Amino acid sequence: MLEFPKLVLYILVIKRDQMSKTYLPVLLALLFLTDSCSPSPRLGSGAPKSEKPFNIILLIGDGMGLAQISTSFLYNTKTSNFTRFKHIGLQQTIPTSHKVTDSAAAATAFSAGVKTYNGAIGVDPDTVPVPTILEMVAEKGWKTGVVATSSIVHATPASFYAHTALRQNYEEIARQLVYAPVDFFAGGGLQFFNRRQDGINYLDTLAKRGWVINTDKLKLRSPLDGKKYGFLLAPDGMPKMQQGRGTFLPKATEMALDQLANDRGGFFLMVEGSQIDWGGHANDARYIIEETLDFDNVIGEALDFAERDGNTLVIVTADHETGGFSLSASTVFGQADYGKITPSFSTGNHSATLIPVFAYGPGAELFQGIYENNEIFDKMVEALEMNVVNF
């Protein structure tokens, strides 16, 4: 098992902003080449075998600003799962290249702690690969998973396991997923694995590497059999809720938690409600509402697990807001009608508003306050370190 020296981790966290192109490859080499020479405790591995493993569940509602979140209060027949959080913060999303972020730059800020340019997948502003939280914990032998309602090679999930200069490099991202330290994935994107320009069928490669791949339904061959499971249930994005996606996302989340927690080590799971963003781009309020209510059920699954487990940190946030979505009082014949909400939009694009962050579990208090999106990475690392101290 490769070591992840605390010194390097410290440099990555503290000095990341000041790090130049020259030093980063050296640090990466240190990170991946340094073997068991580190005298400092590893993340989590200082724990006696009887201690409960520490887990992180990161839930990202793509394009989910405060108005989108509000729909899970205003259009819900149940109590919103957002009410279960006590630790809440706000994050700023500005990337290095523009005033308004895209999903790739924002997800890379979360996954790797760097501010970067729109379109960047797991790379810094100079297109140099940066290690992600998923890779870091996998290096410790922890299990990892990614789940999305987009294609699994789309920008948000990709930024956790892939490194490429352009988010549109879907086939390259699929190739990288095959060799990434991921133990469970579920989403769409089948065509990027089996109908490729290069003619390679990566489903065969995955099978050879011991994966169980399912391309038609969300079902385990034999629950808790210790296998790696991959679900590719659509050629590209998964269907909308309005098109009958049903319980895919909360069920895939529950299944991932069962599979990943079936181990002595900890795990990292990222789940994305990808299509809240697509509802915003389409200026389709009903689309946003259905996708947000589905995502709310995912939050319920994660919090139920975390409550039972007691040693799981759950973080819920968004990469940015989409649509300039607003829930205004209606106007009827020039008069305000406060008895009725008319959802409206100011754009078909992303907006630059501050984005809420919700946290639950050990380390949740770190997520209070107002900070930059890449500090979410720092806070996850800090929570992991705190967890070592606790042992």
Provide the binding-site residues for Zn ion, judged by CB under 5 A.
277
CA 376 to chain centre: 11
* Residue 72 interacting with Mg ion (CB under 5 A): no
DSSP 37-49: T--SPPTTTTS-T
Selection from Mg ion, Zn ion, none that 3 binds (CB < 5 to 8 A by kind) is: none
* Residue 291 interacting with Mg ion (CB under 5 A): no
Cβ(121)–Cβ(167) under 8 Å?
yes
Choice from 118, 144, 156, 322 touching Mg ion (CB under 5 A): 156
Q: Which of 249, 221, 257, 307 is nearest to 62 (CA)?
A: 249
Q: Shortest distance, CB of residue 62 to Zn ion, whole angstroms?
A: 6
CA distance linking residue 160 with residue 145, whole number of Å: 10
Task: Report helix, strand or coil for 83.
Answer: helix
Residue whose tokens read 């309602």 = 149
Q: Shortest distance, CB of residue 369 to Mg ion, whole angstroms?
A: 25
Selection from Mg ion, Zn ion, none that 156 binds (CB < 5 to 8 A by kind) is: Mg ion
* Residue 274 interacting with Mg ion (CB under 5 A): yes
Catalytic residue, chosen from 72, 80, 103, 151, is 103
104 vs 302 by CB, closer to Mg ion: 104
CA distance linking residue 305 with residue 289, whole number of Å: 25
* Residue 373 interacting with Mg ion (CB under 5 A): no
Q: Shortest distance, CB of residue 58 to Mg ion, whole angstroms?
A: 13
Which residue stretch of 17-25, 120-128, 152-160, 173-181 sits at the interface with Mg ion (rule: CB under 5 A)? 152-160
Q: Which residues contact 195 (CB under 8 A, 6 or more apart)?
A: 235
277 vs 284 by CB, closer to Zn ion: 277
For the question of residue 38 being annotated catalytic, the response is no
CA distance linking residue 304 with residue 302, whole number of Å: 6
* Residue 103 interacting with Mg ion (CB under 5 A): yes
Length of the chain: 391
| Inter-axis angle of helices 6-14 and 375-390, nearest 10 | 150
16 vs 320 by CB, closer to Zn ion: 320
Selection from Zn ion, Mg ion, none that 274 binds (CB < 5 to 8 A by kind) is: Mg ion
Q: Shortest distance, CB of residue 281 to Zn ion, whole angstroms?
A: 6
Catalytic residue positions, numbered: 103
